[in-house]
Amino acid sequence: MIGYLLNRIGSLIIVVIGVLTIVFFSLHLAPGDPVEVMLGDRSSQSERENLRRTLGLDQPISTQYKTYIKNLLQGDLGNSLHRRKPVAEIIASRIGATVQLALLSMLIASIIALPLGIIAARYPFRLPDRVAMLFSVLGLSIPNFVLGPVLILIFSLWLKWLPTAGHQYDHSWVLPTIALGTAMAAMLARVFRASLIEVKEQIFITTARSKGLSQSRIWITHIIPNALLPLITVWGLQFGTLLGGALIVEIVFNWQGLGSLLIEGIEQRDYPIVQGCLLVISLSYVIINMLIDILYAIIDPRIQS
Amino acid sequence: MNISKTSITYYFLAFSLLVLSVWFFNVSLDPKQITLAYILSPPDFFNTNGIEGILGYDELGRSVFSRLIKGAIPAFTIAILVVLFSMLIGVTIGLIAAFFGGWVDMVVVRIIDVFLAFPGLLLAIILSGILGPGLFNVVIALCAVGWVGFARITRAQTLSLRQRDFVVAATSQGQKTSAILYRHIFPLTMAPLLVEATFAFAGSILAEAGLSFLGLGVQPPDPSWGQMIRIGAQYMLTSPHYVLAPSIALWATVLAINYCGDSLQRRYSHLN
């Protein structure tokens, strides 16, 4: 177990260094002079020189990289050019909304997907399975920026049940979480179905059946718990898709989270904000997946070898 | 491969038919033609304006149908280019990593891990935000994300194939590594790659629409589905046709491609 842990943490460190490097160079990838792009055409020479000095862009690139890493280790993500506040502070004020959105979407997706997967696997290749998988393909194919407006149109404008946007009202979380969670529900249902069918054909299920256990007992105590295992990994991987999808859903529903902050940052050419969001989102994704891998190894000792 | 060859023929036929019909309409329609009298007018199924009025008009009085057809072209062009380039890069890297093994493989696996650390669209959005809008930049941004999937599959397939007897036989015959990779290993990785390519195609169309939705893809006045959905959403209450037409078109397209991917996958898994 300790060897496994060290191995995982070792590869985490390599990935984190890679992520930091890509995030650092993302600013230098910008075509032309980033300072000019940030300030616009009408800026004076002295303004540009000033900004260049503040950002440290007049230093050689290796020095810049060192300063960047040093500041990061102290929790300093730089200052926003547009809002004139520390990036870390702005991100801290926005991250809660995104976490809330992602967790609720995951919850809703799981509530939809688990029964769907069970129904499909209970009657594989028959009508219930086909219907469930049809829903799954439909859900996988509808992009969240299509589903979002359609949901607003139906539930906010026509039926007037739910607010159209924002996150300050009582039920404003409902539509964004559905828009974001549908694709995940579709994916989870598929994986769960496949996993259930695989477990169903294992020898220990035949043993349980020959012991005379009832069908429902076999499903609840043997098939479902075993089939849930691979789902843990999918949850982690889909969390990344959720974070990516949140970028768009937050724009559709004017949800004040990290995603909309990132898009605002891109529109305003506020590169420190963009770098900060990129860093926070990808690091949290990597760390969550590592925790899930470790959790998985604890629950299912078979995979450590 | 015999079984899936017939189905590939069908998909190819269907796809050619689609391309032909798009091309046919493409010649006769003008997506930038502004008619002030028609601003946001609803779909007209009785065709007083010919086929152009069939899906109604947008906020500037342009035909939604024309823009839908014209918007399909950049979406498909981008998706085809992205799949081709991602596949080329991914397959090459995957083959090399798996066949040479050792430190080459380790480095490639680490690079793949780093790229996988950026969730889905995130890297593409940032890249196209930094590179600036435009068809070519969108292709670069999506390829930067897309090659990873192909590299992973090719690597995994090759790793299992290189242990097989026929590869060992070819090696002992003294065939060149490049010849073994090209003649013996690559053809056998084709089936799973084809499945991946189909899903990547759907994914690229979605991603391009997503980028256009955020204003990072195709720029107005050139039409694109994502952009139509974003602007159409602003007129949702008064003219739902404007947002619904591109939404349904996008959904149906991605659904159709995903279906192809699904059935290919099913055939492929039967073969195994």
Q: Which domain holds residue A124?
A: 95-256
| A227 and A99 within one domain | yes
Asked if B250 and A146 come within 8 Å (Cβ–Cβ), the reply is yes
- The 8-class DSSP code of residue A303 comes to G
Q: Does A157 touch chain B (CB under 8 A)?
A: yes
Phi, psi of B33 (to 5 degrees): -70, 115
Spacing of C-alpha B177 from chain mean position: 32
**Token pair 């209450």: residue:** B237
Per-residue pLDDT, A305 = 52
Q: Which of A236, A256, A276 is the last residue of a domain?
A: A256
B2 — pLDDT class (breaks 50, 70, 90): very low
Partner residue opposite A145 with nearest CB, options B111, B132, B210? B210
Distance between CA A30 and CA B58 in Å, rounded? Answer: 34
Cα–Cα distances (Å) from A284 to A257, A298, B55, B117, in that order, read: 15, 21, 44, 9
**Span B44-87, pLDDT tens digits:** 766 666 667 777 777 777 888 888 888 888 888 899 999 999 99
Distance between CA B57 and CA B34 in Å, rounded? Answer: 9
| Residues in contact with B5: Cβ distance below 8 Å, sequence separation at least 6, in sequence order | none
| A108 and A62 within one domain | no
**Minimal C-alpha gap between A266 and chain B (Å):** 6
**Span A54-103, pLDDT tens digits:** 777 777 878 888 888 888 888 888 888 777 788 889 999 988 888 889 99
Partner residue opposite A248 with nearest CB, options B132, B214, B262? B214
Distance between CA A225 and CA B169 in Å, rounded? Answer: 45
Distance between CA B61 and CA A234 in Å, rounded? Answer: 46
A116 — pLDDT class (breaks 50, 70, 90): very high
With respect to residue A83, please indicate whether it lies within any of the assigned structural domains: no
For residue A183, give the nearest of A230, A232, A234 by alpha carbon. Answer: A234
User: 10 Å Cβ neighbour count for A155?
Assistant: 18
Asked if B262 and A137 come within 8 Å (Cβ–Cβ), the reply is yes
| A244 and A180 within one domain | yes
| A126 and A6 within one domain | no
| A11 and A138 within one domain | no
Q: What is the CATH number for A177?
A: 1.10.3720.10
| A62 and A25 within one domain | yes
Per-residue pLDDT, B1 = 42
Query: In total, how many domains does chain A have?
Result: 2
| Residues in contact with B67: Cβ distance below 8 Å, sequence separation at least 6, in sequence order | B31, B58, B223, B228
**Span A260-287, pLDDT tens digits:** 898 888 887 777 888 888 888 888 888 8
For residue B149, give the nearest of B105, B225, B82, B86 by alpha carbon. Answer: B86
| A160 and A64 within one domain | no
| A61 and A157 within one domain | no
* Strand (E) or helix (H) holding B128: helix B121-131
| A231 and A128 within one domain | yes
Q: Which of A256, A279, A298 is the last residue of a domain?
A: A256
Asked if A278 and B230 come within 8 Å (Cβ–Cβ), the reply is no
> Which residues in chain B (208-267) have CB-CB distances under 8 A to chain A?
209-210, 213-216, 226, 229-230, 232-233, 236-237, 240, 243-244, 247, 250-251, 254-255, 258-259, 262
Task: Spell out which residues of chain B touch residue A150, defining contact as CB-CB under 8 Å.
Answer: 243-244, 247
Q: Does A30 touch chain B (CB under 8 A)?
A: yes
Per-residue pLDDT, A44 = 80
| A57 and A101 within one domain | no
| A241 and A132 within one domain | yes
The interface pTM score, or ipTM, of the predicted complex is: 0.80
Top-confidence range, A35-39, A272-276, B140-144: B140-144
Cα–Cα distances (Å) from A270 to A27, A99, A265, B133, in that order, read: 10, 23, 5, 17
Distance between CA B132 and CA A37 in Å, rounded? Answer: 11
With respect to residue A51, please indicate whether it lies within any of the assigned structural domains: yes
Distance between CA A289 and CA A286 in Å, rounded? Answer: 5
Cα–Cα distances (Å) from A246 to A210, A270, B7, B149, in that order, read: 48, 20, 37, 22
Q: What is the pTM of this model?
A: 0.83
| A179 and A104 within one domain | yes
